Amino acid sequence: MGKLILIILSLSLFLFPVSSHAISEYDGHEWSNWTTFEKGKFLIGFTSGSGYVVSSSWDPLFETEKNIFAKIMGVTEREIEKYKRIQRHHILGITIGQLKDGLNSFYNDFRNKRIRLGTAIYIVKKQIEVSPPEEVNAIIHHLRKHPKHDDYSFFTGMKYKDKSGNERQVIFP
């Protein structure tokens, strides 16, 4: 089934090309020039791809740290944490329409135009999932300074202050 989805997505890219850029180069400038159809097509491919990546790295051993079978098989805490980080890339329970509306709103702010589209999708995902606005604003603030920053490991250890003034860890994507 996964191969069928990949074949369909690959064919749709040839039949309905969006642009000649590498996917990592898209930002708000391209997004703003695309038609509604092109935006929807891109988001379908992106969400399908993220689901495929997550599902292909899924292992039932990682489901819980208390899983006795995982401990017997020698699954390490590091492997469990890596799996949890991969899981954050899955876009689940969010419609294409929600993502499209969120990205339109995000890129309506001229300061966000240079932030890459793949990263912006995860910012919108955090907003839809009702992440603390202070956290989302800290991420956006960093990305406005470094719009082509694709290494999410940078956010490891990044902190923000919540509305009560407490320091919290940024979790991104």
Inside any domain, residue 15:
no
Q: Read off the tokens for 122.
A: 């995860």
Which tens digits make up the pLDDT trace of 102-124?
999 999 999 999 999 989 999 99
**Confidence tier at 130 by pLDDT (50, 70, 90):** confident
78 lies in which domain range? Answer: 24-169
Q: Scan for tokens 């850029």, then name that residue.
A: 21
How many residues are listed for the chain in this entry?
173
100 lies in a domain?
A: yes
Residue 7 covered by a domain: no
pTM (2 d.p.): 0.72
Counting residues of the chain whose pLDDT is more than 90, the rounded percentage is 36
77 pLDDT higher than 50 = yes
What DSSP letter does each residue of 37-65 carry, written as one string? HHHHHHHHHHHHHHHHHHHHT--GGGS-T
pLDDT per residue over 17-50, tens digit each? 444 455 568 999 999 999 999 999 999 998 888 8
From 115, 124, 59, select the one nearest 97 (Cα to Cα): 124
Q: How many domains does the chain have?
A: 1
Residue 151: inside a domain: yes
Q: Is residue 71 part of a domain?
A: yes
Q: Which of 36-45, 80-89, 152-161 has the highest mean pLDDT?
A: 36-45
Residue 30 lies in a domain: yes
